[in-house]
Amino acid sequence: MSYLDKESHLGLLVVTVFQFNVHNAIIMKSHEFLVVLLSVNTFKCLVDGQSVPTLPRLIGDISVAAPAFADIHESSDSSLPYAERFTLYLSTFKPFQIKTDPVLYVRSPGRYLYNVTNWPIDILANSALWPNNPDLLPKSVVPGYEGIVQPSGFLVPGKTKGQLQLYNMNAAIPSETEINIASSDANYSYHRTIWKDMDDDGDLDAVTARFHNTVEEQNFLWLENPGQAVPGWTQHTIYNQGPDVHFRNIQLNSSGLPFDCFIAGELWNERATLYCIPLDTKSGWNDPENIIMRIIDDTVGQTFDMLLEDFDNDGRIDFLLTSFDDRIRIGVKSGSVYIYEIPDDVFFTINGTWVRHVIADSFVPGGSNTMSPGTPQSFYPSAAYANEILPDGRNHRKWILVSGDDDGKIYVLRPTTDAANDFTPYEKNHSN
Ligand SMILES: [Ca+2]
Ligand SMILES: [Ca+2]
Ligand SMILES: [Ca+2]
Q: Which of 241, 270, 296 is the last residue of a domain?
A: 241
- pLDDT at residue 26 tops 50: no
266 with 350, same domain? yes
Q: Is residue 362 left, alpha or beta, with left meaning phi > 0 and alpha meaning psi from -120 to 50? A: left
370 Cα distance to chain centroid: 19
- Of residues 256 and 223, the one with the higher pLDDT is 223
Q: Among 214, 241, 268, which residue terminates a domain?
A: 241
User: 277 C-alpha to center of ligand 1: Å?
Assistant: 17
**Order of all β-strands in the sheet with 33-38:** 2-5, 10-16, 33-38, 57-62
Query: What is the structure's pLDDT at 55?
Result: 59
Q: What is the mean predicted confidence (pLDDT) over 12-24?
A: 40
| Residues 360 and 409 both lie in one domain | yes
Whether residues 286 and 310 fall in one domain: yes
More confident residue, 66 or 299: 299
Check residue 30 and give its pLDDT: 32
Answer yes or no: do 189 and 253 share one domain.
no
How buried is residue 363: exposed, middle or buried, by Cβ count under 10 Å (0-12/13-18/19+)? Answer: buried
- The larger pLDDT score, comparing residue 380 to residue 336, is at 336
User: Does the residue 42 lie in any domain?
Assistant: no
Torsions phi, psi of 288, nearest 5? -55, -25
pLDDT on residue 14: 54
Structural domains of the chain, count: 2
Ligand 1: distance of its center to the CA of 199 in Å? Answer: 5
178 and 303 co-located in one domain: no
Answer yes or no: do 107 and 154 share one domain. yes
| 183 & 265 share domain | no
Q: 56: pLDDT confidence band, cut at 50, 70 and 90?
A: low
> Which of 241, 268, 296 is the C-terminal boundary of a domain?
241
Whole-number pLDDT of residue 155: 86
Q: What per-residue confidence (pLDDT) applies to 33?
A: 47
Q: How far is the CA of 86 from the centre of ligand 3 (A)?
A: 30
Q: What is the distance in A from the centroid of ligand 2 to the CA of 159?
A: 31
Mean local confidence (pLDDT), 386-395: 94
Q: Using the mean position of ligand 1's atoms as its centre, give its distance from the Cα of residue 207 in Å.
A: 11
Question: How many angstroms does the Cα of residue 170 sit away from the middle of ligand 1?
Answer: 23
Structural domain span for residue 179: 66-241
